[in-house]
Amino acid sequence: MMSKIRFLAVALCCLAPAAAAQDEGRALLERACTKCHALTVTTKQRNRKARWSEIVDNMITRGAELTDPEFETLVDYLAKNQGPTVNVNKASAEELVKVLELSKETAAAIVEYRQKNGSFKSLNDLKKVTAVDAKEIESRKDRIEF
């Protein structure tokens, strides 16, 4: 029983910083971006990290107030939560690696499975690929299109 409690304590300690960074990123987004426009102007976009960096930098030149560490936190948050999407039924293995940040082996397995078994219809279909880590795919589900 004690080992389960220790495991949960360690897990919570590891997850807490990630959750805090997520919350901080969302708060920065709301604070810095809504002074000039509605939040939906930002949240309907899907950009890669480099493009988010350009956009946030441009907003700073227009008056958004962010420190350098806040800039990094906001860009990381946007890249993770408002990054590009990929259609897993059409994408090459290279695209899956780039957009979903999967290993080359996992991406190749997805493409091979799709070629043998037909299009994926849902996240559960995608999780049937033996090389796919279900938790990893679940964490990226908002970047996946079918």
- Same structural domain, 38 and 64: yes
Q: What is the pLDDT of residues 42-64, one digit of tens each?
A: 888 999 899 999 999 999 999 99
CA distances from 43 to 4, 32, 65, 114, 122 (A): 39, 13, 19, 31, 24
Q: What is the pLDDT of residues 63-119, one digit of tens each?
A: 999 999 999 999 999 988 898 999 999 999 999 999 998 999 999 999 999 999 999
Query: What does the pLDDT read at residue 10?
Result: 54
User: For the chain, what is the domain count?
Assistant: 2
Q: Which of 73, 135, 82, 81 is nearest to 106 (CA)?
A: 135
- Same structural domain, 29 and 63: yes
Rounded CA Rg of the chain: 18
Query: What does the pLDDT read at residue 1?
Result: 52
Picking from 30, 53, 81, the residue at the C-terminal end of a domain is 81
Query: What does the pLDDT read at residue 15?
Result: 47
Specify whether the CB–CB gap between 28 and 77 falls below 8 A: yes
H/E run at residue 86 = strand 86-87
Q: Which domain does 100 fall in, by range?
A: 86-145
